[in-house]
A and B are shown apart, each in its own frame.
Chain A
Amino acid sequence: MWLVYKKELLEILRDKKTLIFSILLPTIIFPVLFFGVGKFTQSKTQEAEIKELKIAFVNGNTFEGLPDLFTAEKHFKKVELESSDYKAEILNDKVDFIIEVPEDSAMPSQSRKQELINLYYKGASKLDNISNKRVKDIIEAYNNTERLALGERFNLTTDNVKAFNKPIAVENKNFASERERIGEFAGPLIAYILIALAVSGAMYPALELGVGEKERGTLETLLLTPMTKGKIVLAKFGVIFTASFFTVIVTLLSYFVWTWIFTMGGKMSGLDFLSNISGLDLLLVAVLLVPLTSIFASIMLSASIYAKNMKEAQAYMSPIFMLGFMPVIVAFVPGMELNVKTAMIPITNVALAMKDLVKGTVDYSMIMVLLASTVVIAGALLYFTTQFFKKEKVLFRS
């Protein structure tokens, strides 16, 4: 047994492609990926920690000193509300937080009951949580001051005061919808699954129609027919695209059927938000997958045609998978948003847009930008594949 083990291992170690694609590449890609993602997350977190937050008070002076605590902080800016429609003020980015002290409130240190603050904001992401924490930290600081003042009033020691409940309770009024909040976590997951399905759906037919035909000896006979190489490769691309797209569409459809079943049954109310995704958003998810699956179909077909045999082709598929998923993972780093810049990054842009579509926060103009950029890339790759397929060196590589 040992002899066979040693011989097999020796053969694998002498296979440079296996070494490069199965061992060397992952050992480079993953640390780079994790380091990059870590660094980016750190910088975004730091950015969120010092981001200027616009805060407005309603009856703020009832709690004497509370507004001053905020204005004393470096990165808070006190603003006045333009209307009493808190939701519109927040959703239109005129203000980030509104602290409302109810009209019948008293100064906590003078009160005999727990006072209340209504905190209005919109928060769904991790970065929103950071901003939220910053506001609550200040309220907590004010709570401490008031707690100590209350203790003094009742001749209590600091230890006694610690035993007190919070003089002020905070009632969170989050304007982010349930779909947005759940979509923040579910969106990336759904995008990841759909992209994974698109990639895996393209892989098998790509192997079959490229290197598979080479190995079976049918490719050469096909090339000798009067049909042009360009038409042959386009037909092959079409099949890979269809298989990949079909896999994703069937999955999407089954997801809706199951969502409908679950939500109708009321057994999994957590999935309710999924039924809020509009037909247009769903259609856009499918549309986004068109150039995306084209990109993977072209890359995989090229690799498959180039490979001498199935083993070599499979060795190429692993890095394609990894390189395909790197931009997807990047899209889920907190703070990554769909904007003009990110709309130009292939794959990442689709993942970001899918996340926003699931959340219901997508900027439709950005979808057009990303579609334009992705279609250009998909077209260029398809052109490359057709040219690649015409090369004798590729077709008869030995």
Chain B
Amino acid sequence: MIEIKGLSKSFAYDKKEAKKKKNKAATDPREGEGVFHAVRDVSFQCGKGKVLGLLGPNGAGKTTTLRMLSTALEPTSGEILINGHDVTKELRYAQKLIGFLSGKTGLYHRLTVRENVEYFGRMHGLSKQLMDERIDKIFSMLDMHTFAGKRADDLSTGMMQRASIARAVIHDPKVLVFDEPTTGLDVISAKTVLDFIESYKETEMSVIFSTHHLHEVERLCDEVCLIDLGETKFYGSTQNFASQTPSGNLYDAFLANVNNKEKEVA
């Protein structure tokens, strides 16, 4: 189980940006004195065997939130607890419990699929025997044995994504963080990812999953947390989210909850 309590992240402007902002009136509520509050007081939780969909327009703060959950970024304030352990205080322990995958994460092209997965297994301190067992299990689950010996630069997009999933779960994490994992994938490759997440619903694992594809949310997510301008706009069950508008669909609910202006946030 993962609990996020009052999570915030601010970035100090660099000199050039600070100078630019100084002479301009703030148009974005996240703009502060010399800092940009990318994530502001976000809270949610995701229980065992549950999938939580993290939604929001581009630049809403989803990736920053997920990067904090995955320990890549340190929160400015707030708490992230995995099975009661504070991620910031027990960083190395927490890293063993988290698996992370995004549409942008890649593999080492000159290593084979197996070498890639083994490398990350070793980084997580797996023994040889445990590693072999895990690899066998994951490769069977994702139907990867046929291309396990291929170099990553010889893989198709779908194979690459399966290998990336294997890399993310080799250490048997208890929380999976997926940041737009289907972005840029074709229908077949995206299906592999979605099927995998669905299969994990049957385990004790908590999955946090950000996406722009609302049909994926409909299919997979038990709960939804919608972020806009760095703040939580909605947090609750997918059903409740959909029922916010008369049409009862996620699309309308999404638009009703976000600052519905064509606004790209850098």
**Chains A and B bind each other:** yes
- The interface bits of chain B over 52-93 (1 if a CB of A lies within 8 angstroms of the residue's CB, else 0) are 000000000000000100111110000000000000000010
B20 at interface, CB cutoff 8 A? no
- For residue A226, which residues in chain B have a CB less than 8 angstroms away from its CB? 92, 95-96, 123-125
B215 at interface, CB cutoff 8 A? no
Q: Which of A210-245 contact B (CB under 8 A)?
A: 216-218, 220-227
- For residue A225, which residues in chain B have a CB less than 8 angstroms away from its CB? 95, 120, 123-124
A396 at interface, CB cutoff 8 A? yes
Q: Are B105 and A218 in contact (CB under 8 A)?
A: yes
Contact of A216 among B67, B109, B167 (CB under 8 A): B109
In Å, the complex CA distance between A14 and B87 comes to: 43
Closest to A228 in B: B92
In Å, the complex CA distance between A221 and B12 comes to: 24
Q: Are B123 and A217 in contact (CB under 8 A)?
A: no
In Å, the complex CA distance between A346 and B160 comes to: 46
Q: Are B72 and A217 in contact (CB under 8 A)?
A: no
Q: From residue B17, how far is it (CB to closest CB) to chain A in Å? A: 12
In Å, the complex CA distance between A375 and B265 comes to: 46
- The interface bits of chain B over 113-153 (1 if a CB of A lies within 8 angstroms of the residue's CB, else 0) are 00000001001110000000000000000000000000000
Would A221 and B105 be within 8 Å (CB), given that A226-B124, A392-B73 are in contact? yes
Q: From residue A229, how far is it (CB to closest CB) to chain B in Å? A: 10
Q: Are A396 and B73 in contact (CB under 8 A)?
A: yes
In Å, the complex CA distance between A396 and B11 comes to: 11
In Å, the complex CA distance between A398 and B98 comes to: 24
In Å, the complex CA distance between A216 and B73 comes to: 19
A393 at interface, CB cutoff 8 A? yes
Contact of B102 among A217, A222, A223, A393 (CB under 8 A): A217
- For residue A393, which residues in chain B have a CB less than 8 angstroms away from its CB? 11-12, 14
- For residue A392, which residues in chain B have a CB less than 8 angstroms away from its CB? 72-74
Q: From residue B257, how far is it (CB to closest CB) to chain A in Å? A: 26
How many residues on B have C-beta within 8 angstroms of the other chain's C-beta atoms?
27
Would A396 and B120 be within 8 Å (CB), given that A218-B108, A226-B96 are in contact? no
In this complex, the interface size class of chain A, counting residues with CB under 8 Å from chain B, is 10 to 19
Would A217 and B105 be within 8 Å (CB), given that A222-B123, A224-B98, A226-B123 are in contact? yes
Q: From residue B61, how far is it (CB to closest CB) to chain A in Å? A: 14
B100 at interface, CB cutoff 8 A? yes
Q: Are B92 and A224 in contact (CB under 8 A)?
A: no
B261 at interface, CB cutoff 8 A? no
Q: From residue B173, how far is it (CB to closest CB) to chain A in Å? A: 10
Q: Are B106 and A224 in contact (CB under 8 A)?
A: no
- For residue B92, which residues in chain A have a CB less than 8 angstroms away from its CB? 226
Would A224 and B71 be within 8 Å (CB), given that A217-B106, A218-B107 are in contact? yes
- For residue A222, which residues in chain B have a CB less than 8 angstroms away from its CB? 123
Closest to B64 in A: A396
- For residue B70, which residues in chain A have a CB less than 8 angstroms away from its CB? 224
B104 at interface, CB cutoff 8 A? yes
Q: Are B107 and A224 in contact (CB under 8 A)?
A: no
Closest to A232 in B: B123
Closest to A217 in B: B106
- The interface bits of chain A over 44-56 (1 if a CB of B lies within 8 angstroms of the residue's CB, else 0) are 0000000000000
- For residue A396, which residues in chain B have a CB less than 8 angstroms away from its CB? 67, 72-73
Q: Which of B150-172 contact A (CB under 8 A)?
A: 167-168
Q: From residue A81, how far is it (CB to closest CB) to chain B in Å? A: 68
- For residue B67, which residues in chain A have a CB less than 8 angstroms away from its CB? 396
In Å, the complex CA distance between A220 and B71 comes to: 10
In Å, the complex CA distance between A226 and B108 comes to: 19
Question: Which residues on B are within 8 Å of A, measured CB to CB?
Answer: 11-12, 14, 67, 70-74, 92, 95-96, 98, 100, 102, 104-109, 120, 123-125, 167-168
Interchain residue pairs with CB less than 8 A apart (16): A216-B107, A216-B108, A216-B109, A217-B104, A220-B100, A220-B102, A220-B105, A221-B167, A223-B72, A224-B71, A225-B120, A226-B92, A226-B123, A226-B125, A227-B123, A393-B11
Q: A216-B109, A223-B72, A225-B120 are in contact. List 5 more A-B contacts (CB 8 A).
A: A217-B105, A220-B104, A225-B123, A227-B123, A396-B72
